Amino acid sequence: MPLIRSAYPGPPAYQYNGHLQTIIPSLTRKVTDVSYERERLTLADGDFVDLDWIDKGQNRLVILTHGLEGDSSRQYMLGTAKLFAQQGYDVLAWNCRSCSGEMNRAFRLYNHGEIGDLGEVINQALRTKQYTEVALIGYSMGGNITLKYLGVHGKQLPDVIKRGVAISAPTDLGASAVLLDRLANRFYRNRFMKKLVVKLSQKASRFPDQLDMSKLQYVKKWRDFDEFFSAPVNNYSDAEDFYNQASAVNFMAGITTPTLLLNAQNDPLLSPECSPGWLAESHKSIFLETPRLGGHVGFQISRDEHTYAERRALTFTQSEL
């Protein structure tokens, strides 16, 4: 489809660059009146993920996937859950392995390319109730997971999955890894790495023969971290193999479900390769919207409880294409 001209009016004036449009919403936004009911899902390999539900007995469902080191309580997750629940949807906001407040059982963690867990979550939701419509929405890493899942399964998806939405999705992980090493992005890189090292240290104490934390001394770049830790922990041969197998852009041609990719042009964490206009222009199911502003999972609007990304996800999900 042709590229979509964005209707995003822009953020409040004081958020005058992509970094502020990213950081301020994540630190100051407070979404209230969202109450989840938790379900623990045992996965096929014996591990678990926790599912947080808003179950109002609706016949439509939205499944939300969070970003790197996020969870169902992040403000963008709560905001999306609240908006869709108000509009007559049940909501399933699931937490990736190790992200619900309790370390997972298996040696492996979660990663940008892991679509098997999302598949099991979807199957559990469809076993729970006979929904007539399901939409998949993912933010950042969750957006990449959502896009890869839709692309890999293509026409084999359950018929009830009617829409996909990916917001601030790093669809080209190799290119985005280079961006994380820029001086201006060290704040994000160091924050992600610090949180992941805590989890990896816990894994090393439980599985001492499978993980060598001394390799941290060789980590100078984000790619090094993926080479020594992300790849082996998640069963990839090396960083390049991880990027090739996990980057959604390598699988998006297989998408058959109408899918929106919303990436801001000034997102500090996404390279231009993450917004593949060449693919969207020739693909009938991919709708690419690249507003000039918005930051990474920002998209705030003055005097609006919800972000443009949340409202855009709703309108796209409800649209007649």
Distance in angstroms (rounded) separating the CA atoms of residues 106 and 95 = 15
Residue 297: phi and psi, rounded to 5, are: 50, 40
- My answer on whether 55 and 181 are in the same domain is no
Let me know if residue 66 belongs to a domain: yes
pTM for the structure as a whole: 0.97
Question: How many independent structural domains does the chain possess?
Answer: 2
Mean pLDDT across 87-107: 98
Residues carrying an active site annotation: 140, 267, 296
Asked which of 191, 225, 246 is the last residue of a domain, the reply is 246
Using 50, 70 and 90 to split pLDDT, how confident is the model at 105? very high
Distance in angstroms (rounded) separating the CA atoms of residues 212 and 205 = 10
- Supply the mean pLDDT for the chain: 97
- My answer on whether 233 and 205 are in the same domain is yes
Whether 265 shows a pLDDT value over 70: the answer reads yes
- My answer on whether 135 and 190 are in the same domain is no
Q: Which residues of 183-215 are buried (b: 16+ CB within 10 A; e: fewer)?
A: eebeebbeebbeebbebbeebbeeeeeebeeee
Strands (E), 119-222: 133-139, 161-167
CATH of the domain at 165: 3.40.50.1820
Question: Each residue of 289-318: pLDDT tens digit?
Answer: 999 999 999 999 988 999 999 999 999 999
Distance in angstroms (rounded) separating the CA atoms of residues 166 and 171 = 10
Per the structure, the complete domain to which residue 202 belongs is given by: 174-246
- My answer on whether 98 and 42 are in the same domain is yes
- My answer on whether 144 and 180 are in the same domain is no
- My answer on whether 68 and 201 are in the same domain is no
